[in-house]
A and B are shown apart, each in its own frame.
Chain A
Amino acid sequence: MKKFIVLFLAACMLLGLAACGRQESTSPTGQADPNAGTAAVDPSAPIEFDMQTSEEKHIVTIGTIDKSLFEGPILITSFGQSTDASTLDTALGRVSGVNYTYKAQAIADEMASYKTVIIAVGASTKGLGAAGIKDDEELARAQAIMAKLKETGATVICAHIGGQTRRGALSDKLADLVLPQAKLIILKEDANFDYKFTKYAEANNLPITLIFAAKDTVQVMNDIFGK
């Protein structure tokens, strides 16, 4: 009996060393219904709502934009450390003859140097993490900047160009800080699934430019800042 146990243990050790089983693994409970249980909401799943932009009409502006408000020097900064500020940098960089500064983590004390500030609103946990910034710190920086801009009277553009996936609690908090001082909203329209931005613009008689894709920011920047 002892020999059989020894042989059995030796065989177990050998098979354990090989550890390359190819047998199809099966769940003890069988195939679960993927629709059962508490399915989470996929933030990237499309939400049906009436969009004014389309493949055929990429840019729609509601209201009148007063271009004379948007004087230099211009600053692009980020509230939320997503790559949307960098997208605006690329877009404005393609408009000839515009001098501007791009600083994703600008601070309140720098605001006195600018007459127009474009704020890319949209929180990215990856962006904040990569920059080593906590949510509270980003909110505090945003509040300080908005307070300073109230003092300086600079023109503010609220740019939410990250689309639906950029919406979220922190993004909405940041947007709510910027909107009261904004003179123009630029919005990638799929982020407007609850009509938050168009309703705000309508209620406050604020011009809003809706775009279909992030690359439309080039045309929008050209329309606003182009000579």
Chain B
Amino acid sequence: MKKIPRHILTACLLCVFVAAMVVYLGITFRSAKEKEPIYPGPGVTGQEMLSKYCPNLEGSAGDTEIYILDSGVPGASMLVLGGTHPNEPSGYIAAISLIETAKPTSGILYVIPRANASAFTCNDPQEGSPMRFTIQTAGGDRWFRFGSRATNPIDQWPDSEVYVHASSGQTLSGSEIRNLNRAYPGRQDGTLTERVAYGITQFIKEHNVTITVDLHEASPEYTTVNAIVAHENAMNLATLSLWELEEQMKITVEASPKNLHGLTHRELGDYTNTMALLMETANASQGRLHGTVTPEMVVTGEDKFYYRAGQYGALTVEYPATGIGISERCARHITALNEFCRSYDGTAGSIDLGNIPSYKEIIANGIGAYLASPAK
């Protein structure tokens, strides 16, 4: 029998090894398409898909669920957007908590927990972020995906060299073409990201949504953090809410820049009648100063490098050694959402989210206490 030359054998072995790695990594990558379960609570009265408002989304990776919590009592309405950036977890965890526990007593609450559903299916390249993290609930651990800031390039590719925002002509770097919060008001026949933005804009128009709040997180060194960003038509509401929130937390109100386009707090205020607001909390896993981003770090916020940066006065928020945990970040979002409803005194009537836990209760009990237990 002819002996196989050793260099060919080595090459074959390497090919098999590489093929095995590709299959393994491919399976791992595709597993990010599995959605974390959401358990609709007693307040949920209906569910729709966003493609109802942008038919071009049907069957695409951008189609996403809209949860409706209708009190049955006429009043104002609020739309909460979580997961515009799925690497900012307190936004979608707070939104999911509302779906699972809130029961409005007047008005209607709409929640889109995974606004950019495609961006939940990948991570940002070269960040070494975990794919998932867990939060402890009364009935066991719940898992959630840690996604990307932008639409999965598998669903929208290639990026242009320069992103030209359709309605304003504003130019940004090419990768921003997959950023949902640079795509509003969106286009029915645009890119996947623009179609998602269009669907949300149409939803707001059709339902004449009174208040829209987009939940975000930002690096602790960023200037707009622990803040409410308000369109000018929502500035009074933001200020009234701030007066009450200041008694519980350090928070500021910032005006939505008129010359920065594509963002919810600018375009939804300009193109619809909604009062557009955006919230930012401090998330160490997003910043540039952190150490290894582990699933635990995403939840606890504990990071010795951010702690040190805080000691040097390099951050815009106080950063304790124990971190700024997801419970505190969700508590900020949920308390502010509740306060927006309480402070609203416009002509659409009242909106009451019902028995929402207080800021102190969420921090004391942990956000897991306000999430459903996982199904057995």
| Complex Cα spacing A44 to B316, Å | 9
The one of B21, B254, B257, B307 in contact with A83, judged by C-beta atoms closer than 8 angstroms, is B254
Per-residue A-contact encoding for B115-126, CB less than 8 Å = 1, 0 else: 000000000001
Query: Quick check: A14 and B239 within 8 Å, CB to CB?
Result: no
The one of A10, A20, A90 in contact with B235, judged by C-beta atoms closer than 8 angstroms, is A90
Interface size class of A (residues with CB under 8 A): 35 or more
Residue of B nearest to A20 (CB): B128
Chain A contacts for B259, CB-based, 8 A = 130, 132
Per-residue B-contact encoding for A111-127, CB less than 8 Å = 1, 0 else: 00000000000000111
Chain B contacts for A213, CB-based, 8 A = 243, 246-247
Query: Quick check: B255 and A25 within 8 Å, CB to CB?
Result: no
Residue of A nearest to B307 (CB): A34
| Complex Cα spacing A215 to B260, Å | 29
Residue of B nearest to A217 (CB): B243
The one of B14, B224, B253 in contact with A10, judged by C-beta atoms closer than 8 angstroms, is B14
Query: Quick check: A25 and B292 within 8 Å, CB to CB?
Result: yes
The one of A24, A42, A126 in contact with B254, judged by C-beta atoms closer than 8 angstroms, is A126
Given that A19-B126, A34-B307, A41-B313 are contacting pairs, would A130 and B255 also be in contact in the complex, using a CB cutoff of 8 Å?
yes
Residue of A nearest to B123 (CB): A20
CB-CB contacts below 8 Å: A1-35 with B: 3, 7, 10, 14, 18-25, 31-32, 34-35
Taking the closest CB of chain B, its distance from the CB of A118, in whole angstroms, is 15
Chain A contacts for B255, CB-based, 8 A = 83, 86, 127, 130
| Complex Cα spacing A87 to B318, Å | 25
Chain B contacts for A86, CB-based, 8 A = 235-236, 239, 253, 255
| Complex Cα spacing A125 to B308, Å | 26
Given that A126-B223, A132-B259 are contacting pairs, would A83 and B292 also be in contact in the complex, using a CB cutoff of 8 Å?
no
Taking the closest CB of chain A, its distance from the CB of B246, in whole angstroms, is 6
Q: Determine if A72 is an interface residue (Cβ-Cβ < 8 Å).
A: no
Known: A39-B312, A83-B255, A86-B239. 20 other contacts (CB 8 A): A3-B7, A7-B14, A14-B21, A18-B25, A19-B126, A21-B128, A22-B294, A25-B292, A40-B312, A42-B313, A83-B235, A83-B252, A86-B235, A87-B239, A129-B257, A130-B255, A130-B256, A130-B257, A130-B258, A131-B257
Interface residues of B (CB under 8 A from A): 7, 10, 14, 18, 21, 25, 126, 128, 223-224, 235-236, 239-240, 242-244, 246-247, 250, 252-260, 291-292, 294, 304, 307-308, 311-314, 318
A-B contact pairs, 12 of them (CB 8 A): A19-B128, A21-B292, A34-B311, A42-B313, A83-B235, A83-B239, A83-B255, A86-B239, A86-B253, A87-B239, A132-B259, A214-B242
The 7 residue pairs across chains A and B that have the minimum distance between CB atoms: A40-B313, A215-B243, A34-B311, A130-B257, A90-B239, A42-B313, A90-B236
